[in-house]
Every structure is written in C-alpha cells, then in structure tokens.
Amino acid sequence: MQLPVVIIGSGFAGYQVAREFRQLDSQTPVIIVTADNGDDYSKPLISHGFSRRLSADAMIQKRCDELAEELAITILPNTRITAIDVQNKAISYGDATITYRDLVLATGAEAAIPPVCSDSAAQILTLNSLEEYRHASDCIADKQRILVIGTGLVGTEIALDLSLAGKDVRLVGMTEKLMGHLLPDFISKELKQRFQTSGCQVITGQTVVELTQSNSELRVTLSDGRVIETDAVIAATGLQPRTVLAQAAGLRINRGICVDAGLQTSKPHIYALGDGAEINGTLLPYLQPIALSAKALAKTLAGNRTNVVLPVMPVIIKTPVMPIQLSGETSGAHLSWLVEQTDNGMIAKAYVHDEKMVGYVVTDKQIAQGFSLLAQLRAAA
C-alpha cells in the first residue's frame, strides 16, 4: 500500500502544494485534513468584500468536493488534528490515525487580538478567514459606526473598504504613521490625508485600552483617555502563526514553525509553508512567496529536493484612494529618497549612500512604472 502525502490545512498554501504536486505526480495519494469546511476561496478578497457587497458564499471559488475530484485527492473537512506522532509518521484525529509518507504543515496563522481590559473583548471581530468574514458581515450588516484597530496593510485596506461601503469608520493604530513598516513618512502622510478626505477618520499613536458594552453600543477607551462610541470593533493587528500542534510534536519553533530553505522542519519527512512557516528566520505571509514555496516543495515531494528561491518581490497595496506598489527597502532613517511628483502620482526611489537604489514606491497611475523599477532591483540583487 502506497503511503500518502498528508497536508494539514486547506488555505492557499495547502491547496497550492496539492495543485503543484499533482502536476508532477498523479499516482501518490494525497490527503488534505482541514479544520474548516475545505472550500477554496481568495483570502485577499476579504479585505475588499464589503464595498463590493460580496457574501461569503460569493467568494468561494471551488467547493471542497469539486476540488477533491479535480485534483484526485482526498479532503477531510471539519477535522481537527490532535497529535503528530513523529516516530511512527502518523497523525491523529478523534479515534482515527493516518500514516503518512510525508507531512506538510500548512496550518497558517490566526488573527492577533490586542490586549483589552474588559469582558467585552470577545466582541472584537476579526477577518482572517472566510468564516470570520461571514460572521463579521452578519454582525455589521445593520451597523453604521465601525472602529478598526490596526494601521498596517490589512487594517488600512479593511478600513477604507468599509468606508467605501458607506460605513462611518475610524481607524486606530499605535504607530504614528499608516503602514509605517512599509512606507516612508512622506507617502504615509499623503495616504493619511486622502483617508481623511474620503471620510475615514484616522487616529494614530493610540492603543485601545478598554472596551465596554453600553446598551446596544460599544465604548472604546484609547490610551490618551479619549472615549469613542461605536457599533462594532474589528481588529487587524497582525497574525500569530499556529504552532501548538508542531510544538507538541517536538518541532523547532521560533515565531513560526522553523524550516530551512527546502521547507523541511527540524524533523524528517515533515515540511511547513505559508503564514505559519518561518523560512530561515523570516515570516513571509504574502501570496507570491507562498506560491513559490509551494512550487519548490512540490518538486521535493516528487523526489527532487528543491530549495525556495525568493526574488525581490513587489507589495501591492489595494487602497483605491491611493493605489501603491513598493518593493525592496522602503522604510527607515538610513534611506535617502529621489522623488518625482507628477499629476499621475509619485515615483519615489530609495537609495543607500546616494548611490545604490535599494527600493521604490510608486502611487496612483505611476504604478505602471513599478515593474521596470522592480526589474532594476532584481538585476542589482
């Protein structure tokens, strides 16, 4: 009996490995075990679903059974793995076990909830999965005032999307800048101004310290003592890799599940990729590195050990009031900038010691220039 490749997780990472592997090997059994219903959907669309009036069901690209048939794999939905037996190469769920040839952990990450001093913290909504989007959509359908916590990429996109959907939105973050880890000051300030102009209020440099229920509304207390009354609160304050299962199995864990360039964990025949994997010390929760990881891992699973090679990659920020593309080093006091401001947007190039371009940011219609700048970065890498 041929042992299967078993994949835990049915997000983009898990399904992409299955797709890539099936192109190389049509015979080896593949089993995907997932705690959710296994339907395939585009996770980035969640940040833009409210303005498009999309239901959760409308985001589903393929149902679980359709995908199983298409890829000739077995999918076990609504099944939670309770243990990994490294020595016997087996996983357990309920009273059942599955013995694997190779195991792939695509367990992803869960939304980090900011520490809030109150019993009402359970009412904070998150948008890290289709089911969370479904729940949030139901909760805010008849609500008007929404407070979004988190001024990073996801929080910023969600806040603007809700504003475009006609909601009264406040965006609150502990940093002084929007997406300060990605954007230089001058672009962050311009983005904040456009948010304010569009009707989305931005409050930076503040944390939420308390959340209390008052009749049908929530009262949010900020670190400066200000109190905001709102109908719903959504947190987009980062991701926490799911590592409990891997840690219990004795795999090496740091911020995520530690893997080498070949995506192998500290135990043989066990691999990891996606939001929960830390590749040589780096977490890369973006679609392109996950897609490249899946392609490399599929080759390894098919018998050709392949390391992941990650080129310089673009980050696309989908904020309609100010579309942005960037790549390379784009934030930090050590950078000097050459900026060209035009009627069609901004082209900003980052330099170190005024001689080597190490990053760029382009906005609005100048995004078209980003691909040539990306080619320059890749050539210089």
Residues 6+ apart with CB under 8 A from 24: 298, 299, 302
Question: Rounded CA gap, 204 and 192, in Å?
Answer: 10
Question: Rounded CA gap, 347 and 340, in Å?
Answer: 5
pLDDT tens-place values along the chain, 381 residues long: 799 999 999 999 999 999 999 999 999 999 999 999 999 999 999 999 999 999 999 999 999 999 999 999 999 999 999 999 999 999 999 999 999 999 999 999 999 988 886 777 788 999 999 999 999 999 999 999 999 999 999 999 999 999 999 999 999 999 989 999 999 999 999 999 999 999 999 999 999 999 998 888 999 999 999 999 999 999 999 999 999 999 999 999 999 999 999 999 999 999 999 999 999 899 988 899 999 999 999 999 999 999 999 999 999 999 999 999 999 999 988 899 999 999 999 999 999 986 789 999 999 999 999 999 999 999 887
47 in Cβ contact with 157 (< 8 Å): yes
Beta strand 277-279 with 270-272 is unpaired
pTM of the model: 0.94
Question: Rounded CA gap, 118 and 349, in Å?
Answer: 45
Nearest Cα neighbor of 271 from 288, 294, 289 is: 294
pLDDT of residue 368: 94
DSSP secondary structure, 205-243, as one string:
S--EEEEEEETTEEEEEETTS-EEEESEEEE---EEE--
The DSSP secondary-structure symbol of 52 reads T
In order of their start, the domains of the chain are 5-110+240-301 (3.50.50.60), 113-235 (3.50.50.60), 323-380 (3.30.390)
Kind and range of the H or E element at 139? Answer: helix 130-140
Q: Encode burial over 54-82: b for 16+ CB neighbours within 10 A, e otherwise.
A: eebeebbebebeebbeebebebbbebebe
pLDDT of residue 366: 96
pLDDT of residue 114: 86
